[in-house]
Amino acid sequence: MAEARRRLLIVDGYNVLRSGSRYARIELPDYTDDTFNQARDRLINDVVDFAGRERAAVIVFDAAGNACAATEAEATVGGVRVMFTRRGQSADRLIEKLAYDAKERGVETLVVSSDAGIQDAVFGGGVDRMSAEGFCQEMELHAREVREEEAPKIARKSTVEERVSSEVAARLRSLRDSL
């Protein structure tokens, strides 16, 4: 049986979408708009990439003010748990609870949020935190590295002169010049 991952990433979904420069380029009109869904999808894909096989991950989206959200909803995308709080429930409290529960189980936990209240609460409980902008910078760096890895490599032409000793190269040049 595979050993459970001992690292957890918890992301404050809407906070990152609103505070992170990576998602600011995407217009965020309202929660039901298709553009906002695209931003959410991009964040989910980024978290899948960031967490990879190294850590479990949870993204929490706050539905506290959403009249349509009667119950808590949860899905798994690419191994990442995506949670929407139920109406009246704060994502902040759920994030803090998830972080404390993981810490109690001895799981190394990182919370991504620029919300000062969340940062103070989790850091005070011994949990690491990263700002939304810090996460965005990590994603930009990761995207750049992937592009560089996938870019076609140009083979360097190797000459005979580079593969022989300088003495042999000098003799060959002398021979060539004498012709």
Give mean pLDDT, residues 30-48.
Answer: 78
Can you list the domains of the chain with their CATH numbers?
7-150 (3.40.50)
The pLDDT score that the predictor gives to residue 32 is 55
81-128 pLDDT, tens digit each: 999 888 778 889 999 999 999 999 999 999 999 998 888 888 887 889
Give mean pLDDT, residues 142-170.
Answer: 82
124-146 pLDDT, tens digit each: 878 899 999 999 999 889 888 88
Q: Looking only at Cα atoms, what is the longest distance across the chain?
A: 91
Top-confidence range, 19-23, 43-47, 61-65, 144-148: 43-47
The pLDDT score that the predictor gives to residue 1 is 38
Quick one: pLDDT band at residue 47, thresholds 50, 70, 90? very high
The C-alpha atoms of residue 97 and residue 104 are separated, in whole angstroms, by 10
**Which has more confidence, 5 or 80?**
80
pTM (two decimals)? 0.73
Quick one: pLDDT band at residue 74, thresholds 50, 70, 90? confident
Quick one: pLDDT band at residue 25, thresholds 50, 70, 90? low
The C-alpha atoms of residue 141 and residue 127 are separated, in whole angstroms, by 24
The C-alpha atoms of residue 71 and residue 87 are separated, in whole angstroms, by 7
Mean residue pLDDT of the chain comes to 83
